[in-house]
Amino acid sequence: MSLADPLARYICEAQPLHDLLRRALIQLSGFLLKRTIASRQTVVDYEPLEAALERIREAAEGLSTLCAPAGAGHHRSHLIGALSALEGALAAALSTTDRDGDALFHFIEEAERHLRVVGRSLPGFETVDFRQACCAMHGVRGPFEARLVG
């Protein structure tokens, strides 16, 4: 596939936007985790939200001009869906009415679902697969698995 190919060009233009959305999701998830385990008296650190906001703004700007060729419309619609969910998550994180983080959690889950579909739609947008990680203990058998000694 050459860069003259509209789909290849789209992939090259969409990958950095996908990365911005993924990084915003990670930061909002980290904020939710910190907020969930912190006591009510703990001062809330808004730095992850500021970073997420910047990434969401950059992604929104890029997605506004991203043209999807034939065959990539579904992919782009899920990038837009992830962006919308992350914007909702950011609003929920800043809300004074969502003290338990239920709305924030909902929007984070929704964004993750969209990004997983994006990862399955076109090459180059895969999410991290921990089954392939070095810590996945490839080839290790369970403690009750029968072993033949020979």
The rounded Cα 106 to chain-centroid distance in angstroms is 13
* pLDDT for 40: 73
Predicted TM-score (pTM) of this structure: 0.81
Count other Cβ atoms within 10 Å, centred on residue 85. Answer: 23
Contacts of range 45-51, beta carbons closer than 8 Å, 24 or more positions apart: 49/90, 49/93, 49/94, 51/24, 51/27
Secondary structure in 3-state letters for 96-118: CCCCCCHHHHHHHHHHHHHHHHH
* Backbone conformation region of residue 138, classed left if phi is above 0, alpha if psi is from -120 to 50, else beta: beta
Output the CA torsion sign for 23, 64, 98, 103. Answer: negative
The DSSP symbol for 122 reads S
Count other Cβ atoms within 10 Å, centred on residue 145. Answer: 7
Q: Once rounded to an integer, what is the mean pLDDT over residues 34-39?
A: 84
Instruction: Look at 1 and 8; give whichever has higher pLDDT.
Output: 8
pLDDT at 120 over 50: yes
Q: Express each pLDDT in 75-119 by its tens digit.
A: 999 999 999 999 999 999 999 898 788 999 999 999 999 999 999
* pLDDT for 150: 46
